[in-house]
Amino acid sequence: MKGFALRKTVVPMDFPLARKVRYRYFSGFLEPRVGQVRWYNHARGKTSDGTLLRAHDGVDIYAAMRTPLLAVVSGTIVDPATVWKPWNPARYGLTVVIQSGEPTSLGYRALYAHLDSVAVKIGQHVERGDVLGRLGITGNARRTNPHVHFELRAPFLIPVREAGSTRRLDAFDPYPSLVRADPKR
């Protein structure tokens, strides 16, 4: 898409945690991660045998366990296993994905992973600020501090030069959008 920048695009949205909550986050997009690279994951390089090395597709927002997580856009809850195949629930844990129905972000998806509990169902319509679930440590976050892994994904594939080739992915850096939406900044 013309004018789209992997690390700079801002989606009009709200922040996923309430203003009164104590939280912290930083730009962890494309940092090294362990695990198999799927077609929908960014890569940070290759091993000598050509195996892709996984990179972080989002930003981790740290807060107290079971902090309510809020819808950043209005839209429909979708099943990640039908969008990204093969889906890896062991990595992401309890996950909620909203597909935006808003004119300024139509089709964009916001992904929340490692939830302690989920308060919405697939196909349900949500409005900005609705509680989606609670922050946790499920999936591969079991040995970490409580956080939500937050991703933004475009409704189109983005050509990205990684690991010596051009790959087409939908994940882009959510940090600029989070900073713009953050009520404490």
In a domain, 117, yes or no: yes
C-alpha 116/C-alpha 94 separation (Å) is: 7
Place 2 in a pLDDT band, splitting at 50, 70 and 90: low
pLDDT tens, position by position, 11-70: 999 999 999 999 999 998 988 888 888 888 898 888 888 888 888 999 999 999 999 999
Q: Which domain range does residue 103 map to?
A: 24-181
Q: What is the CATH number of the domain that holds 153?
A: 2.70.70.10
Domains of the chain: total = 1
Neighbour tally for 136: CB within 10 Å: 23
Q: Which residues, listed in sequence order, are joined to residue 54 by a DSSP beta bridge? A: 43
In a domain, 145, yes or no: yes
pLDDT tens, position by position, 78-133: 999 999 988 989 999 999 999 999 999 999 999 999 999 999 999 999 999 999 99
Sheet holding 117-118, edge to edge: 68-70, 131-134, 117-118
In a domain, 57, yes or no: yes
Burial of 68: CB neighbours in 10 Å, binned 0-12, 13-18, 19+: middle
Neighbour tally for 5: CB within 10 Å: 11
In a domain, 169, yes or no: yes
In a domain, 98, yes or no: yes
C-alpha 33/C-alpha 181 separation (Å) is: 26
Phi/psi region, residue 103 (left: phi>0; alpha: psi -120 to 50; beta: rest), is alpha
CA distances in angstroms from 136 to 4, 62, 111, listed in the order given: 32, 10, 14
Asked whether the predicted pLDDT for residue 1 surpasses 60, the reply is no
In a domain, 11, yes or no: no
In a domain, 148, yes or no: yes
In a domain, 12, yes or no: no
